[in-house]
Amino acid sequence: MVSQGCSGCLDRQVHRKVGLNLLGLIRPVKLADSVSFLRLEARCFGMRYNRNSLYYWRPILDYCWAYKAVQEETIVGGVIAMPTRQGLVYINSLFVDPRVRGLGIGSRLLEKVLGISAPGFILDVKSGKRYLIEMYQRHGFKVVRRERNYYLDGSERIIMRR
Ligand SMILES: CC(C)(COP(=O)(O)OP(=O)(O)OC[C@H]1O[C@@H](n2cnc3c(N)ncnc32)[C@H](O)[C@@H]1OP(=O)(O)O)[C@@H](O)C(=O)NCCC(=O)NCCS
């Protein structure tokens, strides 16, 4: 079972350390993980999971970089990255189960992908999530472009590169 997260904890730093110790491993995603991995991803982004997600994403999980964070045999987070035509690595998705956020799992997943040997990494962030931009900046990313009205709700797409 996944622990019930850290909401309301008094000392976030202490809790974060505990979380890091409890965190099992960051491992490559296997075919058998596809459904639970993609279901969690959809939930983290407030999207619906359906068979099309599986049809479209399963080959990507197989042929690109996909890592899962596992805690007590349960997938609690993941990251998906893929090569671009320019030879960079595009970090398409980074997500952590809301019950265990704030414990450093997202950063661990990001670091795993940043360990890939590549001349550079890119990713995009929806505007309005300042903490995400700051998180990526702490991992060496810089904002390289902004595209207005990119998303259906009119928000901006912020492209970052490292
Ligand atoms: C983004 C996400 C993966 C972070 O996962 P996480 O396990 O909570 O990340 P970490 O615990 O490693 O925290 C990373 C940093 O972000 C900060 N942070 C995370 N969530 C935050 C929040 N809601 N508000 C403010 N800061 C936040 C943390 O303080 C931490 O900073 P620090 O390293 O200086 O302590 C997770 O919040 C998530 O799944 N969000 C929904 C999906 C999403 O938006 N993904 C990113 C797409 S670009």
The pLDDT tens digits of the residues spanning 110-141 come to 999 999 999 999 999 999 889 999 999 999 99
Q: 147 or 52, which is more confident?
A: 147
Residue 2: pLDDT above 80? no
6: Cβ–Cβ under 8 A, 6 or more apart, which residues?
Answer: 12, 15, 16, 19, 100, 101, 102, 103
Report all structural domains of the chain as residue ranges with CATH numbers, in order of start.
12-119 (3.40.630.30)
Ligand 1, atom 48: closest residue by C-alpha: 125
* pLDDT level of residue 162 (50, 70, 90 thresholds): very high
Ligand 1, atom 22: closest residue by C-alpha: 131
Ligand 1 mutation target, pool 26, 105, 131, 133, most atoms within 8 A of CB: 131
**CA dist., res. 12 & res. 55, Å (int):** 39
**What does the mean pLDDT of the chain come to?**
86
Query: Residues near ligand 1 with C-beta < 6 Å?
Result: 44-45, 94-96, 101-107, 125, 131-132, 135
Q: Contact, 33 vs 62, CB < 8 A?
A: no
